[in-house]
């Protein structure tokens, strides 16, 4: 019961243990994919070995060595009493403790369906750790596109998309943000997102290929909501990607994003100094409405240069 005690007593700030560790199949393994198991190499290997061992046992053969002891995390947890089996959403740190009463058959579980319909679609993503790069925020675990949009992987092979802190502070408070309607297709590197401020408009490139499954309709008339909370409540759309693995190869994460943002910030500082001199940077902090403070920078110039359109 040691594994269950560890599950029940873990603190909110504790590093997030892999589901295989939580089930007690492995002694120590921390999750590095934000519990997106479908994209986890470790999960695929463990699942394959567990299935091979299961087939051997059905054929009345005994699996050998350390590999032979591996069973699926679901089968391991089924050894516990039903009221002690933690729901997968609890294991992934999304809800308070709830027992699984469906033998871990999530595909036809009513609660799992409810969770995805009512919680996942409407809940916002919340950055765990945020880096500061020249005054601009970069949350860890998010993928970034060079056109200043972000991608957050969610359960069920879907992603949430938004504009980053740099883009929103560059343009200042927006009036409207528009994306294709649900069911429509977006293409990576295509200008599928449109933003407006007064008479000015700008096109933003989609970071992934796929079909739109949800949109943040509030942004149609209150685009400034994205400025207030870029990486959480300011999400723009939810997309079911065609080939997420391929899309991610063209995006940046963690140190790649940091290095990219350093270059973008330096380029922006150079432009500002060309137009208004070094004092316009206000000691290094650019503020939350860069264009509004210095319209002489040129809306079109900033849009084309930094949004790659």
Per residue of the chain (309 residues), give pLDDT as tens: 344 444 444 444 456 899 999 999 999 999 877 787 876 889 989 999 999 999 999 999 999 998 999 999 999 999 999 999 999 989 988 888 999 999 998 878 888 877 766 555 445 456 668 888 888 999 988 999 999 999 998 866 789 999 999 999 999 999 999 999 999 999 999 999 999 999 999 999 999 999 998 899 899 999 999 999 999 889 999 999 989 989 999 999 988 999 999 999 999 999 998 887 665 444 456 789 999 999 999 999 999 999 998
CA distance to 164, 227, 273, per residue, from 286 (Å) = 15, 15, 12
Q: At what angle do helices 255-276 and 299-307 cross, to 10 degrees?
A: 160
What domains does the chain contain, in order, with CATH numbers? 2-120 (no CATH), 127-309 (2.40.50.100)
Question: b or e along 71-83 (b: 16 or more beta carbons within 10 Å of the residue's beta carbon)?
Answer: bbbbebbeebeee
**Interatomic CA distance for residues 85 and 69, integer angstroms:** 21
Residues across the chain: 309
**Interatomic CA distance for residues 134 and 258, integer angstroms:** 10
Residues 6+ apart with CB under 8 A from 116: 155, 156
**Interatomic CA distance for residues 83 and 86, integer angstroms:** 8
Supply angle C-alpha 249, 252, 258, rounded to 5: 160
> pTM for the whole thing?
0.63
CA distance to 167, 243, 261, per residue, from 265 (Å) = 11, 31, 6
Say what the pLDDT of residue 142 is: 92
**Cα 72 off chain centre by:** 26
Question: b or e along 160-169 (b: 16 or more beta carbons within 10 Å of the residue's beta carbon)?
Answer: bbbbbbbbbb
Q: What is the DSSP letter of 199?
A: T
Say what the pLDDT of residue 305 is: 96
Are 267 and 290 in contact, with CB atoms under 8 Å apart?
Answer: no
Say what the pLDDT of residue 35 is: 80
């Amino acid at each position: 019961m040691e594994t269950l005690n560890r599950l029940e007593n873990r603190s909110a700030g504790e590093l997030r243990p892999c589901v295989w560790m939580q089930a007690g199949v492995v002694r120590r393994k921390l999750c590095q994919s934000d519990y997106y198991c479908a994209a986890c190499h470790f999960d695929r290997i463990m699942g394959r070995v567990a299935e091979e061992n299961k087939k051997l046992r059905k054929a009345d053969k005994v699996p050998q060595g350390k590999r032979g002891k591996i069973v699926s995390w679901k089968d391991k947890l089924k050894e516990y009493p039903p009221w002690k089996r933690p729901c997968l959403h609890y294991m992934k740190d999304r809800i308070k403790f709830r027992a699984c009463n469906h033998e871990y058959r999530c595909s036809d579980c009513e609660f799992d369906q409810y969770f995805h319909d009512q919680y996942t679609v409407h809940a916002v993503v919340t950055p765990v750790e945020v880096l500061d790069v020249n005054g601009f925020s970069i949350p860890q675990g998010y993928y970034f596109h060079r056109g200043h949009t972000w991608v957050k992987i969610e359960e069920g092979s879907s992603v949430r998309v938004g504009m980053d802190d740099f883009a929103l502070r560059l343009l200042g408070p927006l009036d409207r943000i528009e994306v294709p309607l649900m069911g429509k297709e977006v293409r990576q590197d295509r200008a599928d997102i449109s933003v407006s401020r007064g008479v000015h408009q700008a096109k933003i490139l989609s970071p992934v290929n796929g079909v739109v499954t949800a949109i943040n309709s509030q942004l149609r008339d209150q685009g400034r909501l994205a400025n207030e909370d870029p990486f959480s409540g300011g999400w723009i759309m939810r997309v079911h990607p065609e080939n997420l693995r391929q899309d991610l190869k063209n995006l940046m994460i963690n140190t790649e994003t940091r290095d990219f943002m350093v270059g973008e910030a330096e380029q922006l500082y150079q432009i500002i100094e060309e137009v208004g001199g070094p004092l316009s940077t206000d000691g290094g902090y650019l503020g939350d409405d860069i264009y509004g403070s210095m319209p002489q920078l040129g809306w079109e110039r900033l849009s084309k240069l930094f949004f790659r359109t």
